[in-house]
Amino acid sequence: MTQTEAEQKAMQSSRAPVLDVVIPVYNEEADLGLCVRRLHAYLRAGFPFTARITIADNASTDATLAVAELLAAELDGVGVVHLDAKGRGRALRTAWESSDAAVVAYMDVDLSTDLDALLPLIAPLVSGHSDLAIGTRLDASARVVRGPKREIISRCYNLLLKTTLRAGFSDAQCGFKAVRTEVARELLPLVHDGEWFFDTELLVLAERAGLRIHEVPVDWIDDPDSRVDIIATARKDLRGIWRLTRALTTGALPLDELRAAVGREPLVAGVPLGMVGQLVRFAIVGMLSTLAYIVLYLLLQPMFGGQGANLVALLVTAVGNTAANRAFTFGVRGRGDAISHQFQGLLIFGFGVTVTSGSLFALHRWAPDAPVAVELTVLIAANLVATLARFVGLRWVFRHEGRRVGDSEPGRQAVRDTSAQDDSDSTTMVFEVSGRTTVDRDSTSAGQKHRPHARRSDPAARSTVQEVR
């Protein structure tokens, strides 16, 4: 190799890669070498983006760490991260937080997923179209070879997630995922699990923050030598589901701040993100409130007359309507500002009373002998007007709840990989992420510039990173 070629190779390896593939391992001394060499050869054989492989050893007790270090010394673009504590989630958190790549990913050491799915996995993230990407074994077009026991467990677990956490993604536990690094740094401090529930918690938080999750149907062959303790993992997953459900219900998670940091801007100016869904949910709550109002009015009218029955029925349904819209329509959780929200809701209720009572007063003035059916028809029409005003009013009341980033952050842009450019004067990396361009002049500054956020540290994790340039 000539000196010029050596210098070019050193320059190429010193640049931050577009992709960092993390392989979390525990006691995998037998399979690690074959896996890493196969993945390394695949990435070097025409893969269109620069990539690094990071082996994340989490407290292996065999020779896994020694094998990993030998691979890092032998193969260019292979690094090692060692942790003193077990846990796949803990290993991924450590490796992803310290990565200077634009996109971070992970795959299981057994490479059960066909590597041809890697490019479809990360391309939507590099282009800026999506924020996270996952492989799915449960899509109709996926081709999966595994036993009935694991198939049933997987489908039951994902059905449980859809039931309890309203998950929209299809496969939480497939060991084949990727995320934009800037998004990962915002999500990871909120992910508490350090083991197998890590994936689920990350995806649920991303979904609640309004991030776009891309799914790739994969070809997947089960590893018969898998050492996952299904019973223990299932028990921990159930505890994780309970913890996460409680946190979402009580408002313990700062989802508003997360949306403001990584959410997407409105697609159409003047139409806030989620407004269509809010209208649908508001309509459902409104229909139920109207039914409750009709029942209450019919029950109370003989005792209190039209005006009294209208006032009481409106008051009762207004309180219930505000509470239902607060939680169901606008997604506000916890008790914070609940009294203030109810007070503002009652002010809007006052407008409804004015509209409905006014219409009833006008009816009695012009048709004093109108039957109850006519009264009810007039009141329903007036309630429709009051309902429209109520939606507008409640959107104002909850204007700071669940705000997306549309008014604070420009749209996402593609990540441009210029690592193949030849520059004799300096090494330049240009990343266009989230509408801003960062130019990194060397590998040291690149690592610093791509780690702007404070990150949650794991006291049990001691990281040693080795990389051959």
| Backbone torsion region of residue 325, taken as left when φ is above 0, otherwise alpha when ψ lies between -120 and 50, otherwise beta | alpha
Residue that has been written with the tokens 């958190």 in this structure: 93
Q: Is residue 153 within 8 Å of residue 230, measured between CB atoms?
A: yes
Note the pLDDT of residue 351. Answer: 79
Q: Which alpha helices (H) appear in 137-197, and where do they start and end?
A: 148-164, 181-187
Note the pLDDT of residue 408. Answer: 37
214 bridge partner residues: 133
Per-residue pLDDT in tens (0 to 9) along the chain, 469 residues: 444 554 555 555 568 999 999 999 999 999 999 999 999 999 999 899 999 999 999 999 999 999 999 999 999 999 999 999 999 999 999 999 999 999 999 999 999 999 999 999 999 999 999 999 999 999 999 999 988 888 888 899 999 999 898 899 999 989 999 999 999 999 999 999 999 899 999 999 999 888 999 999 999 998 776 666 778 888 889 999 999 988 888 878 888 788 777 766 655 554 555 666 777 888 888 788 889 888 998 888 888 888 788 778 878 888 888 888 777 777 676 666 777 777 777 777 777 778 877 888 888 888 888 888 888 888 788 878 877 777 777 777 776 554 433 333 434 555 555 444 444 333 333 333 333 333 333 333 333 333 333 333 444 443 443 433 3
Label residue 352 exposed, middle or buried (CB < 10 Å: 0-12, 13-18, 19+): buried
The CA distance from 37 to 330, in Å, is 50
Note the pLDDT of residue 426. Answer: 35
Residue 299's H or E segment, with its range, is helix 275-324
Residue that has been written with the tokens 């990962």 in this structure: 184
State how far Cα 461 lies from the chain centre.
25
| Backbone torsion region of residue 458, taken as left when φ is above 0, otherwise alpha when ψ lies between -120 and 50, otherwise beta | beta
Note the pLDDT of residue 464. Answer: 40
Other Cβ atoms within 10 Å of 166 Cβ, number: 12
Distant-in-sequence, close-in-space partners of 191: CB < 8 Å, separation ≥ 6: 89, 93, 198, 201, 202, 205
Note the pLDDT of residue 469. Answer: 34
Label residue 326 exposed, middle or buried (CB < 10 Å: 0-12, 13-18, 19+): buried
Note the pLDDT of residue 283. Answer: 82
Beta strands 78-83; 51-58: pairing state: parallel
Q: Is residue 394 within 8 Å of residue 345, measured between CB atoms?
A: yes
3-state SS, 357-405, equals HHHHHHHHHHCCCCCHHHHHHHHHHHHHHHHHHHHHHHHHHCCCCCCCH
> Angle at CA 381, nearest 5°, toward 380 and 386?
90
